[in-house]
Structure 1
Amino acid sequence: MIIDMDSLVGPQAYHLMTQTIIPRPVAWVLTQNEGGNYNLAPYSFFTAVCSNPPIIMFSVGKKPSGEVKDTRRNIERTKDFVLHIAGSHLAGPMTETARTLDYGESEMAHIDLTLTDDWGKALPRVEQCDVAMHCSLYEIQEMGNNAQGLVFGEIQSVYLSERVATLEPRLQVDAKSVDPIGRLGASEYASLGDIISVPRPE
């Protein structure tokens, strides 16, 4: 089967891409609304970009109405956000936060999770996540016919729970313990199965 991308119309290209570029890591992004409460939303067009400085990128589309999504609106205003890596046990609440809400209505009111500011940053983090990154806005670029917003963030600090990370003999994060959720097509997700270790060539 060979599919010519020019032959696809409407959301067909998106449908094909999300079912073949798999699994995709999910950035679960917390920002602050103008009223002071918090927006929390998942984005699966997400990756690491650079290590010096440490930069990540996630792609933000628009609401069905054509409005800019709340995440981008908040980041443009405050210049910072918290990016979480959710474990597979959080698939339910994470998916719930993908719901389209009016600006200023917090997703936190619809899920049974808690925020904590125990790390002394400008924004809290989701307490139930083992990995959280406090990021500052590096830049936003627009891409494509729909002006998709590519949000580049510089990682300022990282929270790792002791359940998933050790420091001896050097920092090691146990991927199996993190069990990060991976996005597939449609309503499907994946968790980590067997981990394959293949030495890199010298």
Structure 2
Amino acid sequence: MEFDFTVLEPESRYRLLTNFVGPRPIALVTTRSANGRGNAAPMSFFNVFSHEPPIVVLGIQPRLSGEDKDTVINIRRSGEFVVNMVDMALSQQMLICGLAFESDVDELEMARLPTARCSQIDADYVASSPCSFECRVERLIEYPRRVLVLGEVVHMHVRRECLDEAGRYVNPDTYQPIARLHADNYITSDRQFVLKAPAIADVIEASERME
């Protein structure tokens, strides 16, 4: 089948992109409102794109009414946000944070998520998250139905058990983030395996033998 994205309606583009580009990591994004209230919302249009500078990107669409979501309003005002990674222990609370509460409702309180103050920005992070990234907005890229938020990571909180003994790499036995596939389907990283690339000389030699 062929799909011409230049003429395809938005709903079909969304369905195809989110069904086939996956799994997509989930960012539980926390911000602070102008009146000091906490806000939390899950985003699956999210990933890390650079380490120098350390940049993560969020893709956030507006409400059905066309108005900005609370997360975007808070990010525009403060220029700050936190990306909290989500594991199975946080999965149900993450879903609660994604419900369509009124703007004056603190999703963190509704989900009963304990928080802690950030070190370098004016926001709270989810204390039980495996790791949280404090971010400052590097730039916003505006589209009619989407804003891309490029955030520079300025601080990171990691639960100690999620790292190996040397504190350099993740411990796959304890750090098992979940990711979204399509619709209400998710996946967890509890089944990991090692793939090692062959030596380039062996590949060249094998190719030459085939000639």
- Is the structural similarity TM-score above 0.5? yes
Q: 1:9 to 1:139 in 2, by over 3 A?
A: same
> 2:185 corresponds to which residue?
188
Retained in 2: the 8 A contact 1:176–1:192? no
Pairs within 5 Å for 1:90-169: 90-117=90-117, 119=119, 121-143=121-143, 146-166=144-164, 168=166
SS at match of 1:17: helix
Deviations 1:32-82 (A, max 9, x none): 011111110011111111111101101010011110111111111111111
- Counterparts of 2:192 and 2:147 in 1: how far apart (Å)? 33
1:93-120 deviation per Cα after TM superposition (whole angstroms, max 9, x unaligned):
1112112233232112321211122757
3-state SS of 2:160 partner: coil
Aligned residue number for residue 76 of structure 1: 76
Give the letter aligned to residue 50 of structure 1: S
Provide the secondary structure at the position in 2 that maps to 1:175.
Answer: coil
Percent identity, please. Answer: 26
User: Larger Cα Rg: Structure 1 or Structure 2?
Assistant: 2
Report what 1:89 is aligned to: 89
Offset from partner CA, 1:145-170 (integer Å, 9 cap, x none): x33100000000111111101362x6
Gaps of 5+ in 2: 200-211
TM-score by length of 1: 0.90
**1:171 matched to 2:168:** yes
The TM-score normalised by the length of structure 2 is 0.86
Report the aligned-residue RMSD.
1.9
- Match of 1:198, SS state, is coil
Distance 1:43 1:182 in 2: 10
Structure 1 unpaired stretches of 5+: none
Corresponding letter in the other structure for 1:175:
P
CA–CA separation in structure 1 for the residues paired with 2:35 and 2:58: 24
**Runs of 4+ residues over 6 Å off in structure 1:** none
CA distance in 1, matches of 2:152, 2:184: 30
